[in-house]
A and B are shown apart, each in its own frame.
Chain A
């Protein structure tokens, strides 16, 4: 999905501020459309419906993998994968999760992060202090697949990722309470009824 400020990354010859003002008068519609789309997607994570869809998909996935292993790590991975699937592949973090899974399946070694980063020199145009720069890098490492994103894109991904994570927590909490509260009953029936609801 295109960044909602694409010009800033592609036009080195014009002053970005001027460009921005210009875009506001001539290119207003596309910019606000992208921004609207993004907000809609983020709001989706907060709906009950999305949470229910996620819960049932997660339970289905957990049932399928139950025979092989139900360690905490696998559960967490499954939860992340279902979350990424639900994101419908429009965000970088979701693509990164699904790619990582594919790579793990083919038993490829995890590529070590390329840490050949340039030391943030104090340039003449000091746009950001090193502190902010450092924190941005940390944030980039926390959100899957976002190590090298520009600031606006990273924030875009972060917003969506946080909304998705919050939903994940809500859904898994509800599932856990449901399973714990029901006590020792025939598990197949219980999970089946949850899937069908």
Chain B
């Protein structure tokens, strides 16, 4: 391997062999539920990366939805407590 690369494709200028890519990609594959069972030689690197991106986006979306529900639940309980406080104060009067 030469040292010509002062500016490689990646800004860090790291030198990565194909073997290493294959190894890292297969490690990543194990993290993705969709691809976990499949043999690494049957799934291409680009597919693994694509599925990883999709999976992260899905997780983000799930958290978005959960945040939405949580905010509603918290708001409704807060309203209840506010209303309860108002009612309580009215009754006390």
Contact (Cβ within 8 A) B14 A159: no
Contact (Cβ within 8 A) B9 A143: no
Q: Find residues 150-187 in chain A having any chain B CB closer than 8 Å to their own CB.
A: 150-153, 155, 158-159, 161-163, 165-166, 168-169, 172-173, 175-176, 179-180, 184, 186-187
Please give me the residue from chain A that is nearest to B56 by CB atom: A142
B40 within 8 A of A: no
B1 within 8 A of A: yes
Please give me the residue from chain A that is nearest to B78 by CB atom: A66
Give per-residue flags for B11-52: 1 if the beta carbon is below 8 A from chain A beta carbons, else 0: 111111111110010011001000000000000011001101
Note all chain B residues with C-beta closer than 8 A to A13.
3
| Chain A, interface residues (CB within 8 Å), range | 35 or more
**Shortest beta-carbon distance from A143 to chain B in Å:** 7
Size of the B side of the interface (Cβ < 8 Å), in residues, is: 52
The verdict on A9 contacting B63 (CB below 8 Å), with A16-B1, A132-B49 known, is no
Complex partner residue of A148 from B12, B52, B55, B76, CB under 8 angstroms: B12
Contact (Cβ within 8 A) A159 B59: no
Can you sample 20 A-B contacts with CB below 8 Å? A8-B16, A8-B20, A16-B20, A66-B78, A70-B74, A70-B75, A75-B74, A118-B7, A125-B5, A128-B16, A138-B53, A139-B49, A142-B57, A151-B21, A152-B20, A153-B12, A158-B52, A165-B63, A172-B70, A175-B70
* Known contacts A135-B46, A162-B55, A187-B78; 18 further A-B pairs (Cβ under 8 A): A8-B14, A9-B15, A70-B71, A79-B63, A125-B2, A125-B5, A142-B53, A142-B57, A151-B16, A152-B14, A152-B24, A155-B24, A165-B56, A165-B59, A166-B59, A172-B66, A184-B76, A187-B77
